Amino acid sequence: MNIIDTIVADGNEIFRYGLSSILRDHGAFNICSEVDNGALVLTAYESVKPQLCILSFSMPEMEGIIIAKKIIDKNPGANILLMADKTDRATLNEFLDSGAFGLIHKSAHQLELIDAAEKVAAGERFLGRQFSRMMTEEYKRLARKKKHPDPIKSITKREREILGLLTEGLTSTEIANKLYISPRTVEKHRTNLLKKLDLKNTASLVRFAMENQQTLL
């Protein structure tokens, strides 16, 4: 079995000790440095050049995400596993921008920790269960958005003008006179708007225009 030289960095002594103990007990990891201060992680990394660096998002002196970026800038391809305190989209986005190979939450089961550590040490990507679920939901959301694009974006400049005049209570003839077009053209635009917005009548068009006034400007 290849032994993986590992740095463990976390500001909480109890958590750091527990994390190191789990890795040591597994037998594949040599904890060559434990660091409790973000500013010292860079020095420890350059001194040890480990195969794996497990780094908490929240660190005293310097945030873990900043440390990860600094390490990767100097050591492209560095095997960094980030451990997060939160499971939100901002955390996921920061991880994706950092260049680190892995992300798990601090509440992860020890089996997930070992799996993540081994994969990241081997240069593989790893996303913890909670973040993987979040990523899947984001893909689904984007797919739905692509399948059902925002109808407001498809409204032309002329159609926006007509919508605005409809909210003022003008008839098709009055709108035609104001825009120097025929009433028939106004009706055609009105019909197109109903189709684009999946609405049934002029009253619903007016209501839609009033509810989305800021977006339509």
Give the contacts of 148 (CB within 8 A, at least 6 positions apart). none
Show the domains of the chain with their CATH numbers.
Answer: 4-130 (3.40.50.2300), 151-216 (1.10.10.10)
The pLDDT assigned to 53 comes to 97
- pLDDT at residue number 167: 86
Q: What CA–CA distance (Å, rounded) separates 84 from 1? A: 29
Which pLDDT belongs to residue 145? 60
Each residue's pLDDT expressed in tens, for the chain with a length of 217 residues: 689 999 999 999 999 999 999 999 999 999 999 999 998 999 999 999 999 999 999 899 999 999 999 999 999 889 999 999 999 988 998 998 899 999 999 999 999 999 999 999 999 999 999 898 888 887 777 666 666 567 777 888 999 899 888 888 888 899 999 899 998 999 999 899 888 888 888 888 888 888 887 677 5
CB 16 within 8 A of CB 34: yes
User: Going by DSSP bridges, is the β-strand pair 4-9/102-105 parallel, antiparallel, or unpaired?
Assistant: unpaired
Other C-beta atoms closer than 10 Å to the C-beta of 161 total: 14
C-beta atoms surrounding 8 within 10 Å: 27
Tokens of 145: 């958005």
Torsion 86-89-90-95 (CA) sign: positive
3-state SS assignment for residue 31 = strand
User: CA–CA separation, 42 vs 71, rounded Å?
Assistant: 7
Strands 52-56, 29-35: pairing kind: unpaired
> pTM for this structure?
0.67
Residues 19, 25, 28, 34: what is their CA dihedral angle, to the nearest 10 degrees?
Answer: 40
